[in-house]
Structure 1
Amino acid sequence: MEVVESLLPILRRAAGDLMRQRSIRDLEKTLAGIVHAAVDTVPGADAGGLSITEDGRVTARTPTSGSVTKLDQLQSDLHEGPCITALEDPSEDGLVLADDLAGADAARWPDFAPHAVEAGYRSVLSTRLCTDGRGMRAALNLYGGRPHVFDANARLTAGLFGAQAAILLYGSQHATNLMRAVDSRDVIGQAKGILMERFDVDEDDAFQMLVRSSQDTNMKLVDVAQWLRRETAERRRMARDADAG
């Protein structure tokens, strides 16, 4: 109970800091905030990073050091390590611990373990962050320089932190997607306005012109709209240059 009581204020402050900075709309800033708060919070953690699975590929994100960048990416390249196990093994409960990568755990991840030890990390704790099972999956990876540093208290803290971090990450994903949708709508609206003015058509006809162009060119509707906006801007620039000459 003491662990929970001490952890919750830290998580609330981390979430508050992120939202005050409006970084909940910026996925990279949100991820960096999650990683640094976790390293500061979980006992035994000296460094950390996030691994994200999108479109079947695992990428390393927002590490706290260059060595973690290499190790997180190495797990992806080798398709082996505590992070990969946390992300992909359904028999795991989402929390995967390597107590000593120079000892018994070396046999479980034989290709990854020597690299982690060489980089100065004997312990790794990976916590799966359950976001959207149909899209992005993530794992929080915490690295300790000494063996056996992630005791029951640290594992409980990491698990609680991971649950809260997943909520932040999920919210950030959807905020980012929403902003993209709003931006796309604005671009399409501008493109419709250009066509309405240029061809003296109403809004519905302008939209249908964009749709037909999208189908004929096999381009996304928003890409057609962006092209039209750029082409119009270029026309206006050339007209200004001609007038100036």
Structure 2
Amino acid sequence: MGDAGSALWLSEAFAAMAEALHGQPSRDQVLQEITELAATTADGAQYAGITLLRRGKPLESPAYTHPLVQAVDLAQAEAGEGPCLQESGDADGAVVRIEDMSGEGRWPRFAREAARLGVGSMLSCRLTQERDVSGRLNLLSGEPGAFGVETAKTVAVLATHAAIALSAATAIENLSNAVASRQVIGEATGILMERHRVPSREAFGMLVRASQSLNVKLREIALHVVSTGQNPAELGPADFAGAARS
């Protein structure tokens, strides 16, 4: 394919990707769509996945096209090293290429396990970099040398488009959650006002005090009141097994 034909193909692929990502209603669905598109768009890719690293927490694999991708993430976590744990490579770690996993020297423990799993080469591209969380888009192939320089450039552009779509989906999801929380808190406040004949400020204070004393999210307290009508002052830890306050 000539340069003009390649450019046209990429333009069409990215346009289709933008349309597909725009149509996804949630963050998790956007993440899964990104992996599917990457696996079918990038030359040499057999599998794709997204890895998230949150401060103080283990690696997460929220989306992948094959269990092998998740196994590779686990190999990085167990080895304590790998492209998703250590910023390295082109443009300060924006794009990392492992051309031959069996001869990879930057992360030898991880590379040995990945090669044992059947990974010949890997391309890892930064998807997002925030204060408390970083994400990478990873492509895997069973063959060494599957990802050339041009593929790395293509995936970097794809990751830029995907990061924008992910940011938008996250913002929408956060807004939807905030609206839902506000609604349920309002319902719980109304129930307490009616049952205890108290003004709205006092009813809301009842919810807040229960949240603080139990170390449980205000929304969880409100949901319990809406579903049971129970006085927040009578609630105990057993009513919120697994719930945590943020």
What is the match of residue 41 of structure 1?
A: 41
Unpaired stretches in structure 1, ≥5 consecutive residues: 234-245
Matches within 5 A, 1:155-194: 155-194=152-191
Partners of 2:33 and 2:61 lie apart in 1 by 15
Residues 4 and 157, structure 1, Cα contact 8 Å, conserved in 2: no
Partners of 2:204 and 2:110 lie apart in 1 by 54
Greater length-normalized contact order (CA 8 Å, ≥ 6 residues apart) = 1
In the alignment, does 2:197 pair up with 1:200? Answer: yes
What is the match of residue 123 of structure 2?
A: 125
Unpaired stretches in structure 2, ≥5 consecutive residues: 231-246
State the 1:153 CA deviation: 1.1
State the 1:197 CA deviation: 1.1
Q: Deviations over 1:59-106 (max 9, x none)?
A: 1221111111111222122221222234x8897241011011122x2x
2:96 counterpart SS class: strand
Moved more, 41-50 or 202-211: 202-211
2:138 counterpart SS class: strand
State the 1:47 CA deviation: 0.7
2:184 counterpart SS class: helix
Matches within 5 A, 1:45-64: 45-57=45-57, 58-64=59-65
Q: Deviations over 1:162-219 (max 9, x none)?
A: 1111111212222221122111111101101101111223323322332233334343
TM-score normalized by structure 2?
0.83
1:144 to 134, 141, 144: 141
Partners of 2:48 and 2:215 lie apart in 1 by 42
Partners of 2:56 and 2:212 lie apart in 1 by 28
Partners of 1:204 and 1:211 lie apart in 2 by 10
Query: Cα–Cα, structure 1 residues 56 and 168, in superposed 2: closer, same or farther, change >3 Å?
Result: farther
Residues 22 and 165, structure 2, Cα contact 8 Å, conserved in 1: no
State the 1:4 CA deviation: 4.9
Q: Deviations over 1:126-168 (max 9, x none)?
A: 001125x123320011012211121121011011011111111
Q: Deviations over 1:11-33 (max 9, x none)?
A: 2322322333xx24x22211110
Residues 85 and 96, structure 1, Cα contact 8 Å, conserved in 2: no
In the alignment, does 2:18 pair up with 1:15? Answer: yes
What is the match of residue 241 of structure 1?
A: none
What is the match of residue 101 of structure 1?
A: 101
1:85 counterpart SS class: coil
| Residue identity in the other structure for 2:75 | L
Query: Cα–Cα, structure 1 residues 73 and 61, in superposed 2: closer, same or farther, change >3 Å?
Result: farther
RMSD: 2.3
| Residue identity in the other structure for 2:61 | A
| Residue identity in the other structure for 1:27 | R
Partners of 1:113 and 1:52 lie apart in 2 by 19
What is the match of residue 236 of structure 2?
A: none
Partners of 2:148 and 2:181 lie apart in 1 by 48
What percent identity do the matched residue pairs reach? 33
In the alignment, does 2:67 pair up with 1:66? Answer: yes
Residues 211 and 221, structure 1, Cα contact 8 Å, conserved in 2: yes
